[in-house]
Chain A
């Protein structure tokens, strides 16, 4: 499509502004993590790796990072199993309530985190606490899984929709049992969708703060919660900058990979 010259220029400026609003603050965080001035004065009087060393030795940050990784892996594992199962049920079989089911699976991602958080908090305390299971890592993992399932489900459903059902039938026709057909044919064809969904699920869980606040007990501090509670402390501000900068760099990887993987088509040669 061809656009007029003024339209082209206007759209370019608008797009430039949009990206600037998103990415300039991130750049600032990166710069400030190297800013020797404790209160992030501008312009930076010099360049230092002092805060990076500080952050490396901060046990609070390291513990929180480890907690987040564990919660993310747990939630992703649950999401992969349940999300894939539901995706297959919805896409490969016709049954009563199929539409409702896929609606109910996708809904949690649209629900405000605060609602999910309050609801889970109440439910966990009324149901789990009498059984001796208090708020902690387990409840965080379950809370995260509620919305992580969605991204896995969406990725797998999209892949199955593009993938002809006759592949499985062809395998069975050639003598494979249903299980063998899944291992040899179906799984290899949905594998990249699973990886993409898993990466997105992990990324979602990793930066979640609202649901986490309501489902984590006092002893459990994920990285976002650690950042949030240390941001206000002037002592810790530079270290927070470093942690934020590291997170930006880390989140680039799964998103990049997920995009590469989900753009592969089911019939492409690169599965």
Chain B
């Protein structure tokens, strides 16, 4: 059953004179893990809040499962939200928090207690039902917020940067857990984030937001390997663009081109090797950044412009790579990894 969970049509929102969302069209399928990725102020959170019903749109329509909900209040929509600050009710126990939605739906007391406990078990918080939110850690609160939003099995779950407040290790762990949870329950997840790694790791599809518009919608691979605009090329992954005369000289065509840093090999200029039919350019290493598992080379090309190349530290150590600074190098990559980026419309 491939229904549309959400359909947005020319959705707009202005706050006074600023246009936060400037015409967004999106279709999100049932059971999809859909991310809205973009820098702060790009309108992604405003779109989420409009889907939830917290902000009335200035224009356009919102459909949930084929029903126009544009003018409906939050409590009339089959959508639940995991808030950035979790918004757990501080005067209720964890169990009461999770059971609150069921209580509103007039589920019997025994039933909602059982379902709340199950939901807490789903997020591995069994036995903490009697605590207060203030007695839990950030990661635990996050899971309570998830359990509270999922317990009544809404059609769509909206997540507003839910991992933002967690430290790196916990965040990576939660990314995997969230994805697994979503697969288990089969509910449509709409996930707002400014973290490209997060979006790439978890999503079935991603919409990249910039200045109130969607720049590109696609699978993580499409977004990463075939960026549709210079903004997407720069925001997702490291910006590595060739334009103007540099592009003409290196690629042999005019336009803007993106080459992902990990596709580029760095060779000493005087050394032979590499692939004969590879594309390439020569230049001087301006900076070497040692990352532990890899090294990032910033190379100023003779043709003009600068490219970043990422090399796994397979056989090299920090001393070896440091010696590259200031030296002449030849960069090589497969011609198919030179991706033409259409100019912004």
- Which residues of A approach B to under 8 Å, CB–CB? 164, 166-167, 169-178, 180, 184-185, 188-189, 266-269, 271
A166 touches B135 (CB 8 A): no
B75 touches A172 (CB 8 A): yes
With A267-B134, A269-B134 known as contacts, the answer to whether A174 contacts B100 (CB < 8 A) is yes
Does B330 lie at the interface of the complex (its beta carbon under 8 Å from any beta carbon of A)? no
Kindly provide the distance from the CB of A262 to the nearest chain B CB, expressed in whole angstroms: 16
| B contact residues around A184 at 8 Å (CB) | 100
Interface of A is mostly: helix
- Which residues of B approach A to under 8 Å, CB–CB? 52-54, 73-75, 79-81, 83, 85, 87-91, 100-101, 104-105, 132-135, 148-149, 152
Kindly provide the distance from the CB of B13 to the nearest chain A CB, expressed in whole angstroms: 15
A175 touches B104 (CB 8 A): yes
| Selected A-B contacts with CB under 8 Å, 16 pairs | A166-B83, A169-B83, A172-B75, A173-B80, A173-B149, A174-B100, A174-B101, A174-B148, A174-B149, A174-B152, A175-B104, A176-B100, A176-B104, A177-B73, A268-B90, A271-B90
With A267-B134, A269-B134 known as contacts, the answer to whether A170 contacts B91 (CB < 8 A) is no
> Of A166, A188, A266, A268, which is in contact with the most chain B CB atoms at under 10 Å from its CB?
A166
List 4 tightest A-B contacts by C-beta distance, closest first: A174-B101, A170-B87, A166-B87, A175-B104
| B contact residues around A173 at 8 Å (CB) | 52-53, 74-75, 79-81, 149
The docked-state distance in angstroms from the alpha carbon of A169 to that of B90 is 14
Which residue in chain A gives the minimum CB-CB distance to B93?
Answer: A269
Kindly provide the distance from the CB of A75 to the nearest chain B CB, expressed in whole angstroms: 29
The docked-state distance in angstroms from the alpha carbon of A3 to that of B335 is 73
The docked-state distance in angstroms from the alpha carbon of A178 to that of B74 is 10
B74 touches A172 (CB 8 A): yes
B87 touches A174 (CB 8 A): no
A185 touches B75 (CB 8 A): no
Contact of B85 among A166, A178, A189 (CB under 8 A): A166
Contact of B91 among A166, A169, A188 (CB under 8 A): A188
The docked-state distance in angstroms from the alpha carbon of A174 to that of B154 is 10
| A contact residues around B133 at 8 Å (CB) | 267
| A contact residues around B101 at 8 Å (CB) | 174-175
A269 touches B75 (CB 8 A): no
Kindly provide the distance from the CB of A176 to the nearest chain B CB, expressed in whole angstroms: 5
B83 touches A175 (CB 8 A): no
Kindly provide the distance from the CB of A169 to the nearest chain B CB, expressed in whole angstroms: 6
A266 touches B83 (CB 8 A): no
Kindly provide the distance from the CB of B282 to the nearest chain A CB, expressed in whole angstroms: 55
B104 touches A180 (CB 8 A): yes
A269 touches B135 (CB 8 A): yes
A164 touches B85 (CB 8 A): yes
A174 touches B104 (CB 8 A): yes
| B contact residues around A268 at 8 Å (CB) | 90, 134
The docked-state distance in angstroms from the alpha carbon of A189 to that of B152 is 25
| A contact residues around B88 at 8 Å (CB) | 170
Which residue in chain A gives the minimum CB-CB distance to B151?
Answer: A174
A269 touches B87 (CB 8 A): no
Contact of B105 among A171, A175, A266 (CB under 8 A): A175
Contact of A170 among B79, B81, B135 (CB under 8 A): B81
